[in-house]
Amino acid sequence: MTKLKLNLGPQHPSTHGVLRLILELEGEKILSCEPDVGYLHRGMEKMAERLSYVQYLPLVDRIDYLAGFFYSELMCRTVEKALNLEISDKVRAIRVMMLELNRIASHLLWIGAFLMDLGATSPFFYAFREREMILKYFEKVTGQRMMNNYFVFGGVRRDIFDLEDVENILATLEKKVPDYEKLITENPIFLQRTRGKGILLKEVALNSSITGVNLRASGFDLDFRKRDKLYCGFYFEPVVLEGTDAWSRYKARVLEIIESSNIVRQALEYLKKEGELNQSLINPLNIKLPEGEYYSEIEAPRGLASLYIKSTNEKTPYRLKWRTPSFYAVNLLRKILVGEYLNDAIAIAGSLDIILPEVDK
């Protein structure tokens, strides 16, 4: 049979941004896949070398616009670590609440977009309806729906309010998530498109540096929130499934929404009792990190994100490096798509929850 080279993307609607895959096909079977990224490269790391820390802070949300809080937190955390700033428990609770709400919003968008990729239109609207509530709350508190720029070095930009909105969100999720499950999880068409597709064994996942939900859906229990000081005192169980296929990655995300809302509830109960906001703010204009290397990490919705800063006691970092989880998921496509059929390619790539601004940095 003749071989065919097929160009998928970069403007394909289901590549979630601008991912280009060069596929080699024999009939409908994929022989090899070569991802081509960089269409969204903004030089995040180069820009950091010219901007002071406070100038760079609003930019970091844009690394992953669906989970901006996580990158904000990472940046703040690294600077706080370098300057020995302690954050108060109330700030910690606010941050955890916002992060987990952000995680829920990100997973909801993924569910909608993934089902859209598979050709089901209605779940997209249901997922966006709930996500909208979260974004409305973000807008109320931070002034922005996405890319909130809410965390600052040593605290948060303003105190939290209208906690009953969060309670509303949780109550709605509690009602609606079982609805998704009824609508999607056991749907025969959905099962046929995802069951047994895109098998990712845990050895392969570890070797390819895959973390987060994708790894946990392959039966490996590794959640960086468990070793995270920020989450100290919050009780949760990482969602671990043995399925290894696209379906379990979907299921794991649905379960993680429930798990995250449990964490939000704990933070909420704490914040209701807490009084005034205590912050250890510093003058952001004069921030100079002491000479040395600083490294911190966080469990973002797509996996492990980390930040490395090398400082030479200047106003700008000498070198700043992001580790983004989707970067490795795109790299994995080279392997995971081989031997699969072309019509499953989108389902498999979609199930890994790749977001391109994060890959291109």
Residue 82 binds another protein, judged by CB under 8 A: no
Residue 157 binds another protein, judged by CB under 8 A: no
Distance set, CA 31 to CA 3, 23, 26, 337 (Å): 9, 7, 7, 8
Residue 51 binds another protein, judged by CB under 8 A: no
Report CA 194 to chain centroid distance, whole Å. Answer: 22
Residue 316 binds another protein, judged by CB under 8 A: no
Residue 310 binds another protein, judged by CB under 8 A: yes
Q: Which long-range contacts link 236-244 to residues 24+ away (Cβ below 8 Å)? A: 236/262, 236/263, 239/213, 240/216, 241/216, 241/217, 243/217, 243/218, 243/219, 244/199, 244/200, 244/201, 244/202, 244/217, 244/218, 244/219
Which residue of 331, 338, 341, 342 would you call a contact of another protein, by CB under 8 A? 331
> Measured from the CB atom, is 37 or 147 closer to another protein?
37
Phi, psi for 156 (deg, rounded to 5): -130, 165
Residue 328 binds another protein, judged by CB under 8 A: yes
> Among 72-80, 87-95, 139-147, 328-336, which window interacts with another protein (CB under 8 A)?
328-336
Residue 144 binds another protein, judged by CB under 8 A: no
Could you give the CA distance from residue 55 to residue 215 in angstroms, rounded to a whole number?
Answer: 35
**Nearest distance from residue 237's CB to another protein, in Å?**
17
> Measured from the CB atom, is 14 or 311 closer to another protein?
311
Which residue of 288, 323, 338, 341 would you call a contact of another protein, by CB under 8 A? 323
Residues 223-252 vs another protein: string with x where CB under 8 A?
----x-------------------------
**Nearest distance from residue 16's CB to another protein, in Å?**
18
Could you give the CA distance from residue 311 to residue 289 in angstroms, rounded to a whole number?
Answer: 6
Report CA 82 to chain centroid distance, whole Å. Answer: 25
> Measured from the CB atom, is 173 or 215 closer to another protein?
215
Could you give the CA distance from residue 19 to residue 296 in angstroms, rounded to a whole number?
Answer: 28
Cβ–Cβ < 8 Å for 233, 255 = no
Residue 24 binds another protein, judged by CB under 8 A: no
Residue 306 binds another protein, judged by CB under 8 A: yes
Rg, Å, the chain Cα set: 21
Chain positions contacting another protein, by CB under 8 A: 37-38, 41, 43, 45-46, 204, 206-209, 220, 222, 227, 295, 304, 306, 308, 310, 318-319, 321, 323, 327-328, 330-332, 334-335, 360-361
